[in-house]
Amino acid sequence: MQIIFLQDVRGKGNKNEIKDVPDGYARNFLFPHKLAEQATPASLEKLEKMKEFILVEKKMQTETLKKSLEKISGLELVIKTKADEKGHLFSAIRAKDIAEKLKKDHQAEIGEEFIVLEKPIKTVGEQVVAIKVGDHQSSLKLLVEKE
């Protein structure tokens, strides 16, 4: 029996995958647990439309990220935070903090997963932060100042 997986099933198939499985396995386990549905022409058409929608959505999201990347390329971002007299920060600056500052000050929707930091920033000073979206890469200058 040909089925479409509705969820990932370990060792059998992944979500939205079409596979042939034994009839008994499909009827007695997959269908009652709502892990799969029978592959009918209508369900196959629905699956194709959903895949197209996801593809278009991903493409739009990538375009938006590219525009944001161009907007912040070469930008100088200033973050003021508490530090001791030696310049050590009381709270490290992470990718999440940089993403929030970009959104707040420059309306750039860059997720923290795209900001590349080898380790959290723990000292006052100037840093170069890389931002990588797919195969596009940019960088910005981050100035960490004592509050």
- What pLDDT is stored for residue 52 in this prediction? 95
Is residue 56 helix, strand or coil?
Answer: helix
Task: Tell me the CA distances in angstroms from 26 to 17, 40, 45, one per residue in order.
Answer: 14, 14, 20
For 90, half-sphere exposure in the C-beta direction (CA atoms, 13 angstrom radius) is 8
CATH class for domain 70-146? alpha beta
The structural domains of the chain, with segments of one domain joined by +, span 2-66, 70-146
- What pLDDT is stored for residue 100 in this prediction? 93
The amino acid present at 32, given as its one-letter code, is P
pLDDT digits (tens, 9 = 90+) for 45-76: 999 999 999 999 988 988 888 888 888 888 89
Residues 105, 107, 111, 115, Cα dihedral to 10°: -50
CA distance linking residue 141 with residue 30, whole number of Å: 53
2-66 and 70-146: identical CATH topology:
no
Rg of the chain taking only CA atoms, in angstroms: 24
pLDDT digits (tens, 9 = 90+) for 84-136: 999 999 999 999 999 999 999 888 888 899 899 999 999 999 999 999 887 88
Q: Which CATH number fits domain 2-66: 3.40.50.11540, 2.30.30.60, 3.40.5.10, 3.90.1300.10?
A: 3.40.5.10
